[in-house]
């Protein structure tokens, strides 16, 4: 069932009813969908304490200034790290642990798509997959103890929920050059992302996990698809056409906050005191993947995405376990 924007906005505005301070970490909110969600959160949370990961703290300073205008009661802190390295992702989580004892919201939207080919990091991983999978999962894993201490903890990953596909099962990080392609890196990030989040959800049943596909959103993502002449052509000709058919980053951010706060995507009754959010018969509680044991897989309009046709055979072949063993081996290798 598609969720109309007014329902989203009404629900988000109810966040102001929560009078206890809400602590949130945004990874990927220096631009695009994450930035939209961050502004929506700052605007509606009555007493937010927000950590924002940025590759460049100086550039992100302007965002913090804007947040202070939106909500002067909020506290905003930049963590200067580049999570295209798993090590930096670990440092982000460790930093938050030194500052907070619990975490209400983890919003993950970091990532990019590059037509330039595989970009190896110093850790030997593809940077596009690290930002979209490895670092997101590492931060989530390390912050689970804090999330478990929150009243109604939520993890939202903006990527491609419901669009999982088949895997190159013997090369999950697509290390072999013959296996890497833009499409495969995207499908792998989404598919192993869902399987890993399902595993973390099983370990932490009180934490609500959402993996969402945001639809086509007009963000700088499309300006950065390629470098050189190809990039110039794409920026001049393709990006403007894509924008015509895309929703704004503001709306995508509003929808992102809805995913993070509505009882529809909560294992409990949600951060927001309920009432109109789930009653009235029109907005039912969402159903989680894996027969209700998994996570909320959400499509572009807030609809619950059913991708069991792809996911069930993977689970039957024990791919969740294999993905997790691979992921832990990668985490061990960068220590």
Ligand X SMILES: NC(=O)c1ccc[n+]([C@@H]2O[C@H](COP(=O)([O-])OP(=O)(O)OC[C@H]3O[C@@H](n4cnc5c(N)ncnc54)[C@H](OP(=O)(O)O)[C@@H]3O)[C@@H](O)[C@H]2O)c1
Q: Of 5, 64, 113, 274, which one interacts with ligand X (CB under 6 A)?
A: 113
Residue nearest ligand X, CB atom distance: 32
C-alpha to C-alpha distance for 217 and 234, rounded to whole angstroms:
16
- Return the residue of 82, 140, 194, 262 that touches ligand X, per CB under 6 A: 82
Contacts of residue 287, defined as CB under 8 A and 6 or more positions apart, other chains included, come to: 304
Site string for ligand X, 270-289 (x = CB under 6 A): --------------------
From 176-184, 209-217, 272-280, 301-309, span contacting ligand X (CB under 6 A): 209-217
How far is C-alpha 325 from the chain's CA centre? 22
Q: Is there binding between residue 64 and ligand X (CB under 6 A)?
A: no
Give one DSSP letter per residue of 283-328, joined into a string: SPPP--HHHHTS-EEE-TTSPBP--HHHHHHHHHTTHHHHHHHHHH
Q: Per CB under 6 A, which of residues 229..258 are in contact with ligand X?
A: none
How near is the Cβ of 16 to ligand X at its closest, in Å?
25
Q: Is 299 in the site for ligand X (CB under 6 A)?
A: no
Q: Which residue, 130 or 266, is less far from ligand X as judged by CB?
A: 130
Using the rule CB under 6 A, give the single segment among 15-23, 28-36, 66-74, 201-209 that binds ligand X.
Answer: 28-36
Distance between CA atoms of residues 206 and 147, nearest Å: 9
| Cα 88 from Cα 28, distance rounded (Å) | 13
- Residue 83 binds to ligand X (criterion: CB under 6 A): yes
Rule CB under 6 A: choose which of 39, 132, 154, 199 binds ligand X: 132
The whole-angstrom separation of Cα 93 and Cα 155 is 14
63 touches ligand X (CB under 6 A): no
From the list 107-115, 142-150, 168-176, 305-313, the region that binds ligand X by CB under 6 A is 107-115
Apex 35 CA angle, 101 and 20, nearest 5: 35
Q: Is 121 in the site for ligand X (CB under 6 A)?
A: no
Answer yes or no whether residue 31 interacts with ligand X by CB under 6 A.
yes
Determine, following the binding rule CB under 6 A, whether residue 112 of this chain makes contact with ligand X: yes
* Cβ atoms within 10 Å, residue 326: 17
Does 109 bind ligand X (CB under 6 A)? Our answer is: yes
CB of residue 317 vs ligand X: minimum separation in angstroms?
27
Distance of CA 278 to the CA centre of its chain: 23
CB of 40 to ligand X, least distance (A): 14
The correct pick among 48, 74, 161, 214 for binding ligand X (CB under 6 A) is: 214
Direct distance between the N- and C-terminal alpha carbons of the chain, in angstroms, rounded to an integer: 44
Q: Which residue has the tokens 């909560």?
A: 266
**Contact with ligand X (CB under 6 A) among 7, 12, 30, 290:** 30
CA–CA separation, 307 and 289 (whole Å): 8
Checking DSSP bridges between strand 75-80 and strand 48-54, what pairing results, if any?
parallel
Note the residues at the interface with ligand X (CB under 6 A): 28, 30-34, 55, 82-84, 109-113, 127, 131-132, 158-160, 213-214, 216-217, 219-221
């Amino acid at each position: 069932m598609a969720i109309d924007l007014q329902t989203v906005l009404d629900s988000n505005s109810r966040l102001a009813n929560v009078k206890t301070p809400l602590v949130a970490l945004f990874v990927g909110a220096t631009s695009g969908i994450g930035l939209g969600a961050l502004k929506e959160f700052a605007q509606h949370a009555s007493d937010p304490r927000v950590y924002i990961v940025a590759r460049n703290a100086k550039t992100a300073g302007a965002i913090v200034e804007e947040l202070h205008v939106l909500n002067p009661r909020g506290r905003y802190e930049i963590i200067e790290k580049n999570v295209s390295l798993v090590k930096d992702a670990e440092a982000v989580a460790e930093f938050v642990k030194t500052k907070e004892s619990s975490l209400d919201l983890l919003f993950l939207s970091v990532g990019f798509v590059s037509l330039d080919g595989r970009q190896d990091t110093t850790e030997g991983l593809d940077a596009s997959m690290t930002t979209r999978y490895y670092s997101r999962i590492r931060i989530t894993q390390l912050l689970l103890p804090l999330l478990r201490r929150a009243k109604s903890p939520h993890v939202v990953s903006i990527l491609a929920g419901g669009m999982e596909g088949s895997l190159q099962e013997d090369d999950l990080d697509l290390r072999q050059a013959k296996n890497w392609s833009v499409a495969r890196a995207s499908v792998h990030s989404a598919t192993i992302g869902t399987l890993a989040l399902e595993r973390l959800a099983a370990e932490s049943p009180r934490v609500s996990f959402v993996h969402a596909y945001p639809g086509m959103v007009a963000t700088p993502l499309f300006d950065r698809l390629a470098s050189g002449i190809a990039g110039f052509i794409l920026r001049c000709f393709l990006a403007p056409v894509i924008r015509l058919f895309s929703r704004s980053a503001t709306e995508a951010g509003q929808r992102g906050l809805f995913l993070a706060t509505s009882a529809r995507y909560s294992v409990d009754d949600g951060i927001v005191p309920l009432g109109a959010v789930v009653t009235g018969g029109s907005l039912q509680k969402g159903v989680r993947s894996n027969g209700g044991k998994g996570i909320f897989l959400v499509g572009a309009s807030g609809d619950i995405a059913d991708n069991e046709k792809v996911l069930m055979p993977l689970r039957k072949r024990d791919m969740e376990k294999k993905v997790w063993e691979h992921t832990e081996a990668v985490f061990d290798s960068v220590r």
